Amino acid sequence: MSRVSLEGQVAVVTGAARGVGELLARKLSARGVKVALVGLEPDALKQVSARLHSESDHWYADVTDAEAMARVAGEVKERFGKVDIVVANAGVATGGPFIDSDPVAWRRVIEVNLIGSAVTARAFLPLLVESRGYLLQIASLAAITPAPMMTAYCASKSGVEAYAHSLRAEVGYRGVKVGVGYLSWTDTDMVRGADQDAVMRELRQRLPWPSNKTYPLGPAVDRIVAGIERRSSHVYGQWWLRGMQGVRGYLPALIGTVGQREMRRFAGRLDGMRIGLVGAGGNADEQHRTSTTVRE
């Protein structure tokens, strides 16, 4: 599929304060896209916006808050006149054995990654229908293959993948394209935060190649931008992820066997693992929820 120029289009990027969202905003801006940044870190969003090459603005909002996201959609339309692209990128993660997991953190991963993506789409789909635009839902390798000690994250990313595929069939006849973006372990604050736990780091390093590597952020985001230019149904941040689609039916049984062996290996080291949200984005989410509770 040929690429189209993004010059003059308006893109909304959630989770835009850092990582994939921040770099994607910069690369879209370099192509002449006007960018609306959405996230939970207003100071960081302001700094990102100030560095962009094109017209931009930023909004502090929790993607799980339907009222707030509806307000953001209205204000983005008022500010830029339209919305052509929405990238549902906001996400958090937690790791560790499910039996010892923090129920609040586990639920929050589902809320942000799955419910937050649906809230984002619900708020902006009317504008995408107007522009015959493109919605890109960021998923993960975790949507393709299960993994031990990542129950919440795998569940949420499998959920957004299925949701986006269903949505594609619903809105395609109205001119809206829907894509799913897949990323393996990519050098972001989230992955670095997970790697701070020795068990999670070593378990990941024992995965089969090429899934045991951390990949640089820049090339992955370049692939996402190319997918947006093509309005692709599937976007792969790493070259080998496309091939995983053909074997995904075999992976649960394989991971079930290999995963049990690895969990037995690490069984004596599981006590004391961090059970909250990981990385700077996870910290920002926890601070947001704490401040919201205090105000209430």
Tokens of 46: 């302001």
CB-neighbour burial class of residue 165 (10 A; exposed 0-12, middle 13-18, buried 19+): middle
CA 67/CA 63 separation, integer angstroms: 10
248-266 burial, b at 16+ Cβ within 10 Å, e below that, comes to eeeeeeebeeebeebeeeb
Distance CA 136, CA 232 (A): 9
Per the annotation, the verdict on 215 as an active-site residue is: no
Residues 72, 29: Cα–Cα separation, whole Å: 20
Alpha carbon 198 to its chain centroid, in Å, reads 24
Closest C-alpha to 16, from 158, 51, 134: 51
Closest CA to 193 of 92, 271, 290: 92
Q: How is residue 53 written in tokens?
A: 């090459």
Q: List the one residue out of 214, 226, 146 whose CA is nearest residue 179.
A: 226
Q: Which one-letter amino acid corresponds to residue 103?
A: P
- Set 153, 182, 215, 236: catalytic member: 153
In 165-281, which ranges are E strands?
177-182, 234-236
Burial 52-82 (b: 16+ CB within 10 A, else e): bebbbbbbbbbbbebebbbebbeebbeebee
Q: Provide the 3-class DSSP secondary structure of residue 55.
A: coil
d(CA 129, CA 135): 10
Q: How many angstroms separate the CA atoms of 193 and 122, rounded? A: 30
Question: Any idea which residues carry the catalytic annotation?
Answer: 153
